[in-house]
Structure 1
């Protein structure tokens, strides 16, 4: 359903914050390695988030390392998942995340590609996809309920997306590789 990932992609953040994200993709025998960096000014806070994600062949999140830099502090976060919905955050079991199969980095437009690839929905089909959500401002991890419904598209892919915790609902547009092109109010693909 999806074409191969390009070597890299980039997004410009817009409206909700000002910033930029660059991501590199590498397919490995066990799955995918995704490395990226996002920088932004948001709500009077400036941050830099470096991330390294490992996914299995079915696009389940398996491990994440995030380094956050802020005006007066640095923070590192490690998150591990078994691919079956069980998580460890900084080495400690996180049962509140049970059932989540994806990581969702607030700093990243890319991470909304994870459930789209993993679910591989047919046009008209829908699914809940709760995620382990990592806040950009302090790297706290919480459960984020999300819902995706695939819409018809002439090219690429379109999804009706909802994140009720943020009172957010929009149509997300993806390219043929399943990378987000337009994330209304948050980001637009630039490369």
Structure 2
């Protein structure tokens, strides 16, 4: 077994007027990470999260805690079992069943799982090949922490770029060789890594 590839990545999150830092590692075909974000738009509020995947970068758990706006504190826990069934705070969520990934709102890290699983950031070529990969995600809004199903499409464009689209929103996202977001127009920009 190879040593884990560790990472630290900070993003300036334009969509929230704040920052998000994730610390984590890739072990074979899984990822674990924890992060902390601060947002000024609609806040201020602070987000703490811990994410674990199983093989194939498929989500096992996401724990999120939000402090603010104001004195309010909220938390939620998403769990996915080996059969693809989800619970949110211990309650079954059949509307999420079959989703492989969680997607934490305004968090660039959660784009990594489907991209690494399918090698989308490594695709060659300069034009979309086919209709893209369609996914069902367990999407978590911030700061409210509402959890809803979200249909999303990832289309490899080559050169580390992947077109993300959901509903009427679309953005051509640049990933590094590890599948971490470097630039997500309309959402976030990666800053220099601060070490591991």
What's the TM-score once normalised by structure 1's chain length?
Answer: 0.87
Instruction: Say whether 1:185 aligns with 2:183.
Output: no
Q: Aligned with 1:50: secondary structure?
A: strand
User: Per-residue displacement from partner, 1:125-179 (whole Å, max 9, x unpaired)?
Assistant: 52101210000121110011100111121xxx11111011xx2111111011100
Contact 1:49 1:107 in 2 (8 A): no
Q: CA deviation at 1:47?
A: 1.4
Q: Name the residue aligned to 1:160.
A: 163
Alignment counterpart, residue 54 of structure 2, candidates 53, 56, 63: 56
The one of 117, 135, 144 aligned to 1:138: 144
The residue aligned with 1:38 is: 37
Unaligned runs of 5+ residues in structure 2 are none
Residue 91 of structure 1 corresponds to: 90
Conservation of the 8 A alpha-carbon contact between 2:139 and 2:149: yes
Distance 1:29 1:146 in 2: 26
Runs of 4+ that moved beyond 6 A: none
Distance 1:136 1:79 in 2: 14
1-side partners of 2:5 and 2:183: how far apart? 17
How many pairs were matched up?
Answer: 181
Residue 31 of structure 1, CA deviation:
3.3
CA deviation after TM superposition for structure 1 residue 117, in Å:
1.2
| Aligned CA-pair RMSD | 1.9
- Residues in 2 aligned to 1:25 and 1:72: alpha-carbon distance in whole angstroms: 29
Which residues of structure 1 form unaligned runs of 5+?
none
Post-superposition offset of 1:28: 5.2
Contact 1:110 1:179 in 2 (8 A): yes
The alpha-carbon deviation at position 94 of structure 1 amounts to: 0.3
